[in-house]
Structure 1
Amino acid sequence: MTNHVFNRLICCLIFCFSTATFAENGLSKALTNNVSVTGQMSSEKFSQLMQQGFKSVVVNRPDEEDGNKVKVSELREIAERQHVSVIYQPVMSGKITQTDIHEFAKYYNELPKPILMVCRSGTRSSALFNQAKSQGLLHE
């Protein structure tokens, strides 16, 4: 096995392990100092995340999406006990529109930070954030 192939194999194993750990432990993933993303939500997990100092939450997962275990109204109730704002901005997985990007940027620029973004796996929220950032819409 060449060093190049070996190094790629090690990188793949590290990525797979870190992704599995993220999913198993239900941790959030920091994209910047101001924003983190998280996946599949439960009331217990959300309560734990609210203890980590987030000041705002943007929920990108539609309540009616298959497999969704907790509705935004439940998350809002938990967050309000911690004086944390919750914005419900559902976006369709793989179908983020320019309107979605501009709406998110408006929220991002107005909300207290750090912000936690919630969707099924974290991918949709990450894509929304990264698209708004790459378009220069976010004021840091």
Structure 2
Amino acid sequence: MRTIDETISVSSQITPAELTEIARAGFRAIVNNRPDEEEPGQPSGDAIRTVAETLGLSYHAIPVTHAGFSMPQVEAMRGALEGAGGPVFAFCRSGTRSTNLWALAEASRGTDPDTLVGKAANAGYDISSIRPMLDALSGQA
């Protein structure tokens, strides 16, 4: 798990069994940025959703493929972040897609792209490849 800021942490694929610890750590929502069956043996989104909801966590499936990001995905991530009522735990294969989607959602709220790039870098993610999108979404293009 890598903490980007007090509102979100990201990681690689999680299992349903790990959700108890995630809930104990104070997270309020889970965001799954992986499409089902991306890799053999990957837990299904439904399996993770069932356990998350049993633990009182909200669950959002916003799958991102290698085709890139769309505005509906950005808007869904923004909604998940705004409605979480506390810290969000997002995951994908490596945490990169989750970090990128978080940054795009935050840029759409007007957050400064330099701030987003810095937070991502502090967590070990280079999001410079999406900088033009961050600038455009934040109104700084």
TM-score, with normalisation over the residues of structure 1? 0.70
Give the aligned partner of residue 125 of structure 1: 98
1:68 to partner: Cα distance: 5.4
- Tell me the C-alpha RMSD between the 2 structures: 1.9
Aligned residues with identical type, % of pairs: 25
Runs (5+) with no aligned partner, structure 2:
112-141
Pick the structure with greater CA Rg: 1
Q: Which position in structure 2 is the counterpart of 1:37? A: 10
Q: How does 1:1-140 map to 2 (within 5 A)?
A: 28-67=1-40, 69-93=42-66, 95-136=68-109
TM-score norm. by structure 2 comes to: 0.69
| Large movers: runs of 4+ above 6 Å | none
Distance 2:32 2:110 in 1: 19
For residues 109-138 of structure 1, give each alpha carbon's deviation from its aligned partner in whole angstroms, at most 9, with x where no partner exists. 122211111111100000000112123267
Contact persistence 1:93–1:124 (CA under 8 A): no
Contiguous gaps of at least 5 residues in structure 1? 1-27
Asked if structure 1 preserves the Cα contact closer than 8 Å seen for 2:20 and 2:55, the reply is: no
Opposite residue 126 of structure 1, the aligned amino acid is T
Q: Deviations over 1:83-131 (max 9, x none)?
A: 1111111111361112211221122212221111111110000000011
1:37 is paired with a residue of what secondary structure?
A: strand
Question: How far does the alpha carbon of each residue in 1:20-62 deviate from its partner, in whole angstroms, 9 at most, with x for none?
Answer: xxxxxxxx11111011111022233333323211111111101
Q: Equivalents in 2 of 1:134, 1:59: separation in Å?
A: 20
CA distance in 1, matches of 2:41, 2:86: 26
Count residues in correspondence: 111
